[in-house]
A and B are shown apart, each in its own frame.
Chain A
Amino acid sequence: QSALTQPASVSGSPGQSITISCTGTSSDIGSYDYVSWYQQHPGKAPKLMIYDVTNRPSGVSNRFSGSKSGNTASLTISGLQAEDEGDYYCTSYTISSTLVFGGGTKLTVL
C-alpha cells in the first residue's frame, strides 16, 4: 500500500489560516470517510485532532477543521498560533482493511 501524499512543509504567520492537503486514491480516501489527522510535537506521541473527516475530539480547538473532496482530504487551521507548530499526519482506512498514513507535513509558524 502506498502512503498518502502530503506537502513536506507549510508555513504561516500568527493569526493566518493554513491548509494541509492529503491525497490518496479511490481505494482509500475516495471510498471511505475514515480520515483522521494527528498533530505531533518533537519527542511526543501523536495527538488525534480530527476523525471521520470532519469531527473534533473533545478538547481540540475549533480552529482545527477537516474536509474531503474526492480522493483528497484537507486540514485547515485558522487563527494560527505558535503552539500549532509541529508535524501533522493524515490517515485513511483502505479497501484492504488496512490503515495508511500520509508522509507528514511540517508546519512552521513564522
Chain B
Amino acid sequence: QVQLQESGPGLVKPSETLSLTCAVSGYSISSDYYWGWIRQPPGKGLEWIVSIYHRGNTYYNPSLKSRVAISLDTSKNQFSLNLTSVTAADTAVYYCARRRANWDFDYWGQGTLVTVSS
C-alpha cells in the first residue's frame, strides 16, 4: 500500500521560503512514476504546482515556475518542495501525490496547512 506524508513548518513569514517534504512508503520513488505537489487555498479550488519524474525531468505550473524547486532524495525515499518569496496568497493546504504518465494522481498525502503570516 503506497502512502505519502507531508511534513514541514505550518507557519512561514512573508518573503521567506516555504519548504515541505513528502515521505513515501510502500513504493520506491526511484523505480518509476512521477511525484508532485498540489495546493488548495482555504475554501478554494485545487492548483497543480509541479511534478518530477524519477529520472529527474520536471514540469512546472507556469504561474509558479520562477519560485518553485522540487527535488528527490532516493536515499530517504522522499521528495521536497521549495517555494520562494512567499506572500499571503501562498497560504494553502499543500498535498503531495504520485502522478502517473497519463497525468492523473492516484495516491495522495493527507495534506498540510501552511500559513504565510508575520
Contact = CB atoms under 8 A, between A and B. Distances in A.
A51 interface: yes
A46 B105 contact: yes
Interface in B76-104: 95, 100, 102-104
The number of chain A residues touching the other chain, given as a range, is 20 to 34
B105 A102 contact: no
A99 interface: yes
Contacts of A38: 46, 105
A101 B62 contact: no
B62 A96 contact: yes
Nearest to B51: A99
B45 interface: yes
A91 B48 contact: yes
Interface residues of B, number: 22
Given A1-B62, A45-B95, A45-B111, A99 B103 contact: yes
Nearest to A40: B46
A69 interface: no
B48 A100 contact: yes
A1 B103 contact: no
Nearest to A96: B62
A38 B46 CA distance: 10
Given A98-B59, A98-B61, A51 B104 contact: yes
A52 to B, nearest CB: 6
Given A36-B103, A48-B105, A98 B48 contact: yes
17 contacts: A1-B63, A44-B110, A45-B108, A46-B95, A46-B105, A47-B108, A51-B104, A52-B102, A52-B104, A89-B46, A91-B104, A93-B102, A93-B103, A96-B62, A97-B59, A99-B51, A100-B48
Interface of B: 38, 45-48, 51, 59-63, 95, 100, 102-106, 108-111
